[in-house]
A = this chain, B = another copy of it.
Amino acid sequence: MIVVMQTGVAQAQIDHVVQLVRDAGLREHVIVGTERTVIAVVGDERKLELGALENAGGVDRVMPVLAPYKVASREVKREPSVIPLGNGTAVGGKRIGLIAGPCSVESRQQLIEIAHAVKEAGAIGLRGGAFKPRTNPYQFQGLGEKGLEMLAEAREATGLAVVTEVMGVDQVELVSRYADVLQIGTRNMHNFNLLVACGQTKRSVLLKRGWSATLDEFLLAAEYILNAGNPNVILCERGIRTHETYVRNTLPLAIIPAVKRESHLPILIDPSQGTGHAYMVPAMCRASIAAGADGLIVEVHADPEHALTDGAQSITPEVFAQTVRECARIAEAVGRTT
C-alpha cells in the first residue's frame, strides 16, 4: 500500500500515519520526494480497510499494491485450471468448450429438440433457465423444478452437461440435485452468501461477471467460491453497462488476455447476453475464440420469434451449427480444437 501525503504535510501527520500503520501490524518506509512525501507500507494489506487511512490528517490518497484476491491469482497457481463439467468433458484445456441452449426451459419437447441440435453441432453442455431472474415482475419467471427435471431428461437423452442458474441460497440444494454446473448470474455476482453456498457444493460453478463489476471484484467473487472449498470455478464475461445503445451490453473481449494474465481460471464468453442482438452473435463467437476464450455459452432457440425470454438475442440451431463450423476454423488457427 502506498499512502500519498498532501503537499505541505506536517511531520506530526506523517508520524500519526506511521503509528496507524504499525498498529495494524505492518511496516513503513517514508520517502520524502521533491513535492510530496509518500509512505510505502510493507506487509499483507488485504485485511486492512484501506480507506480508513484516507481520513487521517494530511493524507491525500491511498493506493493498493497487492491484488485483493489470492487463491484466484496466477501468482498462487501458475498452470491454467481445467474445470470438469461433470459429463466427462472439461473447460480450460485445449478444447474449446461450447455450451448452448435456450434462455429458458419452456417445454419438454422444445428442450430435447434443441439439446439434440446443439449436441449435434458440437456442444458439450446444455444451458437453460428453470428459475429466471426477470427485471419485470409481469413476465415469464421460469418453470422451476419442472424445468430442472426436463434438463435432467435432456442430459439423459444427449449426454450433455446441464448448466443452469441458481438464484438464491435456498435453491442451491435443489438445483445441485439436477445440474452439473451451477450458474451464478450477473445480478448475483455480488451475492456473497450465494457464492459461499455454491462454494460448499461439489458442483462446478459458472460465475458470470456483474454488469458493472471491475475485474478485481470479479476475481474476488471467484475467491469467495474457491475459499469455501470449491476449486471448480469457470469465469464468464457477458457484457457491461456503458453509454452504447446499438447493443444491450458492451462486450469487452480484452478481459480475456487480462484474466489469462491475472488468474489460472478459465473464461467463457456469452455473446448472446453480451450483445443482445442475434445478428451479432456469430461474429462475437468467432472473435472470442480468436482472443483466446476457453469457450462460449450461447442462447439457441428453434423459434426465436416466439421465445418466452431473450428472443432478440437467440440464434437458431442452423445458425449455431454454422457458427460452430466457423469457430472450429478459428480455433485451429489459434492452436485449439472444438
Give the interface of A toward B (CB within 8 A). 2, 4, 7-8, 20, 29, 31-36, 38, 40, 42-44, 46-47, 49-56, 63, 65-66, 68, 70, 75, 133-140, 167-170, 187-188, 190-194, 210-212, 214-215, 217, 220, 223-224, 227, 240-247, 250-258, 261-262, 274-280, 283-284, 286-292, 304-314, 326, 329-330, 332-334
Which of B55, B274, B287, B311 is within 8 Å of A290, CB to CB? B287
7 smallest CB-CB distances across A and B, nearest first, come from A52-B311, A51-B312, A187-B190, A290-B290, A329-B333, A212-B212, A287-B291
Decide: A55 and B280 in contact? CB cutoff 8 A: no
**Could you write out 28 A-B pairs with CB less than 8 Å apart?**
A8-B75, A33-B43, A34-B42, A34-B43, A40-B40, A49-B308, A49-B309, A49-B311, A51-B313, A54-B277, A55-B307, A55-B312, A68-B136, A133-B192, A136-B220, A210-B211, A212-B243, A214-B243, A215-B245, A240-B242, A241-B241, A243-B243, A246-B262, A251-B252, A253-B283, A286-B290, A286-B334, A329-B332
Which residues does chain B contribute within 8 Å of A49, judged by CB atoms? 139-140, 307-311
Q: A33-B40, A212-B240, A286-B290 are in contact. List 6 more A-B contacts (CB 8 A).
A: A38-B40, A49-B311, A168-B193, A242-B250, A247-B252, A253-B283
Q: Oligomeric state, in number of copies?
A: 4
Query: Inside 8 A of A241's CB, which chain B residues have their CB?
Result: 212, 241, 243
Q: What is the CA–CA distance of A42 and B187 in the complex, to the nearest angstrom?
A: 32
| Chain B hits for A4, CB < 8 A | 65
B residues within 8 A CB of A54?
277-278, 311-312
> Contact between B280 and A258 (Cβ–Cβ < 8 Å)?
yes
Partner of A75, one of B7, B66, B75, B254: B7
Bound: A36/B169 CA distance, A: 37
If A52-B304, A191-B187 touch, does A256 touch B283 (CB 8 Å cutoff)? yes
Among B40, B193, B252, point to the contact of A167 (Cβ < 8 A).
B193
- For residue A28, which residue of chain B has the nearest CB? B31
Q: How far is the CA of A138 from the CA of B304 in the complex (A)?
A: 38
Q: A7-B75, A289-B290, A291-B287 are in contact. Are A135 and B190 (CB under 8 A)?
A: yes
Q: Which residues of B contact A330 (CB under 8 A)?
A: 290, 330, 333-334
A220 to B8, CA, bound (A): 22
- Which residue of chain B has the shortest Cβ distance to A42 in the bound complex? B33
Chain B CB within 10 Å — which of A137, A286, A306, A311 has the most?
A: A137
**Which listed residue (B29, B42, B245, B334) contacts A326, Cβ 8 A?**
B334
A242 and B247 in contact (CB under 8 A), knowing A44-B34, A169-B168, A333-B326? no
